[in-house]
Amino acid sequence: MMPIAQIQWHDPRTYMLLAVILGTLGIASIVGVVMSRREKIGVESALIQRFNHKLRVWWLMVVIFSLAFFLHRIGVVVLFGMVSFWALREFITMTPTRRGDHRTLFWVFFIFTPLQYVLIALGSDPPARMGGNDGVDYYDYYSIMIPVYASLFIPARAAIAGDYKRFLERSAKIQSGLLICVYSLSYAPAILDLRMKQTGGALWEGSTVSVLIFFVLIAQLASVLERGWGKLAGRHVIAEKINASRTWEGFLGSMVTTGLIASALYWATPFHPWEAGLLGAVVTVMACAGTLTMSAIKRDRGVTDTGTLVQGHAGVLDQIDNVCFAAPVFYHLTRFFWSV
């Protein structure tokens, strides 16, 4: 693993990628304003309104991420930790809890969630950062802490409370929320600690910051493009009783389009164009799976949105369900094939 001090934070490719994102958002915002002020444009006003609301969320996400970026690595880790805490709160709020769950939830929110991100933040052992030869790879700890130890602790602590009603359902709900909102999402900032190589074995001299931005960007684009292709060419619904707007045509269209966009952005990563495109397709699969899974959970609980992030739009978990499902897959693929 790369010592923290060796992360190239101010890499030109990172700034170029951020400039591309800001430029695209700027153009999209101008288009949204023009469309909303014209009465006869042949487009549904509700669709335009949703588009403009989505743009506000993206601007908010870019601003927050940029602030964390200027605080360097610890700022990014803290940012994702706060997002995980907020998303987990929304997840737990969707389903009622009993008095016997309160102390279990205390451990989940204030012990396991911070501990997961502390392990992510440690990255390498301090002696390695100060010039030592060997550092501790904390991946061995944060990769098993929640799925093994927290998953065993949660039902045991709930049992100690003495409340047996709907015990299995309550335990599974808390375990699922911790796994999706905290464990899975924590793999996104963990990308920063990968020391990456290009295909062929040559050490990549770029910054893993741009790889993280690349991942978050294509994960967000995958969901947007899936919805767009579904509106344009959607005919066959994937699961009508769960989400009638998700179609196979939208899914396949998103895979192809996201893959092409990822290929075009290969210069910000250690990947070749075809490798970036393949990763874009894989991220699309996982992003769509995350969106569909959260739709099933919301339909089961009888709610439309997990919360309210921006007036007129959905909650934090609705914005990052795609990132949560895609992060561990993207991390492990890059760690296995492109990590030194």
Rounded Cα distance between 97 and 161, Å, is 13
Rounded Cα distance between 235 and 204, Å, is 43
Alpha helices in the chain (DSSP H): 12-37, 45-70, 72-94, 102-107, 113-122, 126-129, 139-142, 151-160, 167-177, 187-190, 208-233, 248-264, 273-301, 316-338
Rounded Cα distance between 42 and 182, Å, is 43
Q: What is the pLDDT of residue 67?
A: 82
Q: What is the pLDDT of residue 308?
A: 52
Rounded Cα distance between 156 and 164, Å, is 12
Q: What is the pLDDT of residue 257?
A: 95
Q: What is the pLDDT of residue 3?
A: 44
Answer yes or no: are the C-beta atoms of 283 and 326 closer than 8 Å. Answer: yes
339 token code pair: 């990590």
Is 108 exposed, middle or buried (CB count within 10 Å of its CB: 0-12, 13-18, 19+)?
buried
Collapsing DSSP to helix, strand or coil, 133 comes out as coil
- The residue with tokens 């995958």 is 222
Residues in the chain where the model's pLDDT stays below 50: 1-5, 125-133, 310-312
Q: What is the pLDDT of residue 39?
A: 52
- The residue with tokens 């992030």 is 309
Q: What is the pLDDT of residue 195?
A: 87
